[in-house]
Structure 1
């Protein structure tokens, strides 16, 4: 219990230090000072700051809410636009707590095999969740829904990471509106690049 509390103090301190100074200047000495422990005590838990950042990334991924929580609900929205808005809003909300720290984590976290596996699993879960949400919806006109779910999910990540964490970040409500319109329009086959769509039922 005490060890976990100390570990949490280190992680909390590191989150503040990385966000305040950036990763390069966020030294273990600064982290230990902010956590109010000795540098020797810090090294008992983490061998270096790469390990600390990787742990922060892992815990973030573990805590992220995914749209799969909506699949078992009986009160899902009827319209495709509202379903996509729900999906987009979840993605945005997962980046609002500390967007600068998230930017550092996604851009600079060491990509260990374990971390890459976790990221890959989470991305696949999001693709599966979106595919499940749109699979039988009558408003979806794109033919290849698996690819559509992959494209929509892949587009959301970098856009939200960049625009929420940017120094002149866009208004969150406006971002939600624009992303919802972009993805909904694509799924309805109203874009120029969508090409083939499923024929309308008689």
Structure 2
């Protein structure tokens, strides 16, 4: 994958409604093409054809398909951050189970629209430095907020709140990524219930599930 930062930046920042609509058409077309053909076969020619623009017009906005995918990844990340409040005034459920359900459900909703595209973004997305920094910054914010939330909640029974905050943030993000984007059908409601139960039991010291003897 190309790692030149200049080659992963959009070339043209739309200033008019028409230009913004054209860029959105390119991104929508790219999402469909990547999901249908995969990243290697998802060429800029196919994206331009699906978007009903000339290849020259596409290159006015993006220098290559790496830049297009970085834009899709960035928007996916921003949507995930917007769906989960990270400020102290956010209205969340009072119980730990309710809080975990809110975060798990928000993560699932942000990942279930197009699992094939999500798989392409996870497995084949360019590792641009600016994108990696954005992801790291998002993770830091989630951990910091989770640390304050868990540290002040009377039902939390973990030995180390800092480690717990890191585990919760990483578990929700990575497990939802892998399960929702993984192969095969997933019962989303059952998956949500199981993940919420796992996190709640860990945080509150609830009873563990007995493993049957052979």
* TM-score above 0.5: yes
Question: Matched residue of 1:139: which SS?
Answer: coil
SS at match of 2:41: coil
| Paired residues of 1:67 and 1:126 also in contact (CA < 8 A) | no
Question: After the TM superposition, which residues 156-171 of structure 1 pair with which residues of structure 2 at under 5 Å, given as runs?
Answer: 156-171=172-187
Q: Which runs of 5+ in 1 are unaligned?
A: 193-202
Partner SS, residue 42 of structure 2: coil
- For residue 143 of structure 1, report the CA deviation from its aligned partner: 2.1
Equivalent residues of 1:83, 1:133 under 8 A apart: no
Spell out, residue by residue over 1:101-124, the C-alpha distance to the aligned partner (whole angstroms, 9 max, x if none): 122112211111110111111111
1:68 and 2:121 correspond: no
Write the deviation string for residues 77-135 of structure 1: whole angstroms up to 9, x where unpaired: 22211111112111111112222212211221111111011111111122223223222
**Does 2:189 match 1:173?**
yes
Structure 1 residue aligned with 2:48, among 32, 38, 58? 32
Aligned position for 1:59? 75
Write the distance in 2 (CA, Å) between the matches of 1:48 and 1:150: 35
Q: Structure 2: where are the runs of 5+ without partners?
A: 1-15, 209-214
- TM-score in terms of structure 1 length: 0.87
Q: Paired residue for 2:4?
A: none
RMSD: 1.8
> Residue 103 of structure 1: which of 119, 140, 155 is its match?
119
Spell out the pairing of 1:141-152 with structure 2 (5 A cutoff): 141-152=157-168
When the two structures are superposed, what TM-score results if normalisation uses the length of structure 2?
A: 0.82
Tell me how far 1:71 sits from its aligned partner: 4.0
